Amino acid sequence: MAWNKIDKEKVKTIYKQIAGTLTEKDGKLQPEIGIRGTSGHLWCYSPTLKQHIQVPRGSKAYILSEMKGDPDKVMIYCTFGEIVVIDYDEIIHTGYD
């Protein structure tokens, strides 16, 4: 998989958005997504840790990139601080909540 490249500028923009310090020159807002479900965990691959980790269902996240060779997977930044690869079917687009 080609998940070894993470857009650092996009991650910085998301950090600023979460902190509430995003300005116009930093770029536009990133839409928020949710992880499907309300209870339990989902095992997802973390390209930064190079292992699978538990991700709580119902968590909020932001899309970092979509896999060109595998349209069913997306890389997301979870608001609890982890970057993971998840099936596209497991996310819900919530917009700018």
| pTM, rounded to two decimals | 0.85
Cα separation, 18 vs 74, in Å, equals 20
User: pLDDT tens-digit profile of 32-73?
Assistant: 999 999 899 999 999 989 999 999 999 999 999 877 667 789
Contact 34, 57 (CB under 8 A): no
- Residue 56 corresponds to which amino acid? P
Q: How far is CA 53 from CA 35, 36, 46, 81, 96, in A?
A: 14, 16, 7, 12, 26
Domain architecture of the chain: domains with CATH: 27-95 (2.30.30.40)
Contact 58, 38 (CB under 8 A): yes
